[in-house]
Chain A
Amino acid sequence: MHELSIVLSIIDEIGDQSEALGLKDVETVHLKVGVFSGVDRDALLFAWELACEGTPLEHSRLDIETVPLVIRCAVCHQNRTPPSLYQLCCPECETPSDTIVTGRELEVVSLEVAA
């Protein structure tokens, strides 16, 4: 389970950012996780609870926005959602595509902090 290492990087990142911005009392951390990022949502939430204990983020909540897999079809010239995570082809014309538009994201988007 690499989600714990990932959570530790998120905590580091937030620490750096909130120090730079002079923030304290982070209530919610908004995260974007692509379905093709290789990161499991439940494992991430579990690791969050564990890793935040005893840190300034102890009472914070992790909010995860799931980003779907979208590929670019070279034939239709459209962004399409493939039939499944293991069928990377256009649902309309069935052309295979190795161009991934979204689905690999793993980023902190915003923080909700006490005003």
Chain B
Amino acid sequence: MSTRIVEIRAKVMRQNDLLAHALRERFETSGVSVVGLVSSPGSGKTAFLEKLLSGLARDFRVAALVGDLATENDAARLKRATPNVRQITTGTICHLDAQMIEKALEGWQLDTLDFLFIENVGNLVCPSSYDLGEELRFVMLSATEGEDKPLKYPTIFNSSDVAIITKMDLAEAAEFDVAAARRNIESVRPGMQIFEVSAKTGSGMQRVFQLLRDQLAHSRETRPALQIQTIQ
């Protein structure tokens, strides 16, 4: 039996990418700034997000989608900062995809929001393959995890826009070498913005708030004009 070769050239993530593209357009027209958070488990992502939400909630309308394998503890904790928190329970799936985001947003009026945060499942490998339509992606590592994290997971660091070093209050006790961590981040993603924060003491958070405020102002300046529908 003979065989023949048929060229097909198809992007494997096409379905996800199309959906992510549609989400990005929707976020843009709604004027909501969307930030994805990725990290390994235990990097202090929920504490950081809680600080972000409560800090921004004074001046802005904020919301969060929280991806988790099973429990709903994180969402309950974040609801102290804003009622607009939804949990995406992924079961055995180690990442969020664009379809989960679309589904979780059902019934939400995006144009009543300024910021939406999407906390991915704690995992530095799988989320790198899935675009969620976010405008910025923050990758987090904590001072207790070691400086070599970026070198072990170069893909996720490279595909993120901003690096956040968390738990800086523990840096000294953990003998964390900040300069080495910065060098390693710079090595896998030249030019990346890096912030050092402590959600516990609040140090460094002002700079992150400033980045987000600037981002919101910038995206609202450049966002496509709202479509005005006229009835003929």
The interface on chain A, measured as residues whose beta carbon lies within 8 A of the other chain's beta carbons, has a size of 38
B interface SS class: mixed
Q: When the two chains form their complex, are residues A107 and B9 in contact, meaning their CB atoms are under 8 A apart?
A: yes
Please encode chain A, from 89 to 115, with 1 for each CB lying within 8 Å of some chain B CB and 0 for all others.
100000011101000001111111111
CB nearest neighbor in A for B12: A106
Which of B12, B188, B190 is close to A107, meaning CB atoms less than 8 Å apart?
B12
A interface SS class: mixed
In the bound complex, residues from chain B placing their C-beta under 8 Å from that of A113 are 3-6
CB proximity to B under 8 Å, residues A4-18: 5-6, 9-10, 12-14, 17
Q: When the two chains form their complex, are residues A106 and B13 in contact, meaning their CB atoms are under 8 A apart?
A: yes
CB nearest neighbor in A for B126: A2
Q: When the two chains form their complex, are residues A114 and B3 in contact, meaning their CB atoms are under 8 A apart?
A: yes
Q: When the two chains form their complex, are residues A13 and B188 in contact, meaning their CB atoms are under 8 A apart?
A: no
Q: Which of B151, B186, B187 has the most CB of A within 10 A?
A: B187
| B155 CB within 8 Å of chain A | yes
B interface, CB within 8 angstroms of A: 1-16, 93-95, 97, 125-126, 128-130, 150-151, 154-156, 158-159, 184, 186-191
**The 8 nearest A-B residue pairs measured at CB:** A96-B190, A2-B126, A38-B128, A86-B151, A38-B155, A86-B154, A115-B2, A106-B12
